[in-house]
Structure 1
Amino acid sequence: MTTPPPESPPAAEAAAPASWIRLAVVGLVGGLLSGLFGVGGGIVMVPLLIMLARMDQKRASATSLVAIVPTAIAGSITYFANGEVDVLAAAIVATGGIVGAWIGARLLRRISMEWLRWGFIALLVLVAIRLIVVAPERGAGSVDWNVGTALGLVALGLVMGVASGLFGIGGGLIMVPSFIAIFGMGDLIAKGTSLAAMIPTAVSGTITNVRGGMVDVRAGLIVGIAATVASFGGVWLAFFLPADVAAWLFAGLLVLAAVQLAVRAVRARRAGSA
């Protein structure tokens, strides 16, 4: 009697496309939100990588940063083509951001998983509150340049860079509200400038993470390609969606992501203490 072939190889082959699809979904969602809200998309991609790709918080943060690089480039080019990027402000913020990303990426390898998880949740909630409190305007005034403004932008870059390297986000969640509330930018130019400023920061953090063995390069490339394609649609939506509506929608999304991560954090803690 002929021995039937083993069943495991076909099952393994069938599972592979699902992994690609899940990663592509992560990228499409992150890229759409990146273009729409002027963020890197990591604030959404990190939770999705944890839930769909079964990554831990550290690897998800590091992998997300890889995908942010091409996404931010594509989005900033589109905003720039429409005259919605302050190149000087982006360059100054990026200067501080590169140093901050280097610091954050190194902290990522040393900080405990529990502290990182709850710190990320706190960041989501704080930014959501900020988006609701600060009413964005379309077509607001330009930056009032002086020494204090330049120093403030450098400081903003440092904070943004640390958050980028530590949490795997592009930093747009910090930059966009700050550009609007502190430096008087309109919502569209704040988004475009944010995307431009995060490019060198994300590159710096990614290099550090790759050297530290923290990155799933394959997953990062898949997510990044999908996110880049979707970012163009996000920018298109940004020009048609009212500024206050966009802010409220994004705040709601952040709260939802924070709740999901908080539930997972509590479950992980209970499982560890059991």
Structure 2
Amino acid sequence: MILPLLATGLVGGLLSGMFGVGGGIVMVPMLMWWARMDQRRASATSLVAIVPSAVVGAVGYGINGQIDYFAAALIAVGAVVGAPIGAWLLRTLPLGWLRWMFIAGLLIIAVRLILVAPERGGSLELDVLPIIGLVVLGFVMGIASGMFGIGGGVIAVPVLIALFGMGDLVAKGTSLLAMIPTALSGTVANVRAGMVDVRQGLIVGIAAACASLGGVALAFLVPPQVAGVLFGILLLAVVAQLSVRAVRAQRAARASAREDAAADAPSDRG
């Protein structure tokens, strides 16, 4: 079991550092395929692993002056509230329509990133509306984190670039810092609910943290235009992955409903 966990962490950590995401977008399916976890357990394990990975990545961006600390704090406020709600939704709701809404949003963001190159030196001007917007962004990010086992960076980074005018490196560093309390909040809720093996999550997380600094170095080397296209392609891969999982979940639900209906139907024998 340890080898699949380590491999999952290395891949997730590299993407985390390079794109400012938690890495859960690849760690969840890898844990399902390689470690044979179901989706709920994989999501909860991924959330544990995101914490050390995000800490190391944020340090890398912070040393290079690429974090907006006030914006990160505002996002974190909303995210800490949203993450337990997302974890509760993960435990209680059929996720069909919520998953399709998330997929549609990611698709729109991916297309924009591919077509419109992000700036490297953009800055955020804080006013009343941007402050409220950052808290709302954090809330949505937290819900997605708790529900899907992701850090929320796939939402935060492109939104910070497109709607708040941040440069791509600052957006990535700010996203990583903001997702630390997000992942911690969701993880606490999952641990209390008995949904996660913390030891396994930490094995993935240590490997992810080791790879995260390499990802940060790549982020500074790759031009913003290329980074935007690569991030957009990554999001398209995520959309495809989530779509396949959504279709499979719907088929399983329909099959279960047919079995229940057949079991409840009166017998013609007798």
Same topology, TM > 0.5: yes
Q: 2:113 — aligned with what?
A: 131
Q: 1:63 — aligned with what?
A: 45
Q: For the structure 1 residues 102 and 243, does the alpha-carbon distance in structure 2 shift closer, same or farther, using more than 3 Å as the test?
A: same
Q: For the structure 1 residues 148 and 121, does the alpha-carbon distance in structure 2 shift closer, same or farther, using more than 3 Å as the test?
A: closer
Other structure's SS at 2:92 match: coil
Other structure's SS at 1:239 match: helix
Larger mean CA deviation between 224-233 and 49-58 belongs to 49-58
Contact 1:209 1:215 in 2 (8 A): yes
Task: Flag structure 2 segments of 5+ consecutive residues without an equivalent.
Answer: 259-270
CA distance in 1, matches of 2:252, 2:126: 53
From 86, 95, 104, the equivalent of 1:104 is 86
Q: Does residue 91 of structure 1 match 2:64?
A: no
Q: For the structure 1 residues 264 and 122, does the alpha-carbon distance in structure 2 shift closer, same or farther, using more than 3 Å as the test?
A: same
The Cα shift of 1:258 comes to 3.3
Q: Does residue 207 of structure 1 match 2:201?
A: no
1:151 maps to amino acid: I
Q: 2:166 — aligned with what?
A: 185
Task: Flag structure 1 segments of 5+ consecutive residues without an equivalent.
Answer: 1-18
Contact 1:36 1:238 in 2 (8 A): yes
Aligned residues: 255
Summarize deviations over 1:67-112 as a string: whole Å, max 9, x none.
0001110000110000000111111111111001121111111112
CA distance in 2, matches of 1:56, 1:127: 28
2:58 maps to amino acid: S
Q: For the structure 1 residues 88 and 22, does the alpha-carbon distance in structure 2 shift closer, same or farther, using more than 3 Å as the test?
A: same
1:202 maps to amino acid: A
CA distance in 1, matches of 2:144, 2:38: 18
The Cα shift of 1:242 comes to 1.1
The Cα shift of 1:61 comes to 1.1
Summarize deviations over 1:96-138 as a string: whole Å, max 9, x none.
1100112111111111255566566445434423422442111
> TM-score, normalised to structure 1's length?
0.86
From 61, 66, 70, the equivalent of 1:79 is 61
Q: 1:172 — aligned with what?
A: 153
Q: 2:128 — aligned with what?
A: 147
Identity of paired residues, percent? Answer: 64
RMSD of aligned residue pairs (Cα, Å): 2.0
The Cα shift of 1:184 comes to 1.1
The Cα shift of 1:263 comes to 3.6
Other structure's SS at 2:151 match: coil
Contact 1:47 1:257 in 2 (8 A): no
From 221, 224, 243, the equivalent of 2:202 is 221
1:242 maps to amino acid: P
Other structure's SS at 1:198 match: helix
1:211 maps to amino acid: R
Q: Does residue 196 of structure 1 match 2:180?
A: no
Q: 1:49 — aligned with what?
A: 31
1:20 maps to amino acid: I
1:41 maps to amino acid: G
> TM-score, normalised to structure 2's length?
0.87
1:157 maps to amino acid: G
Q: 2:220 — aligned with what?
A: 239
2:29 maps to amino acid: P
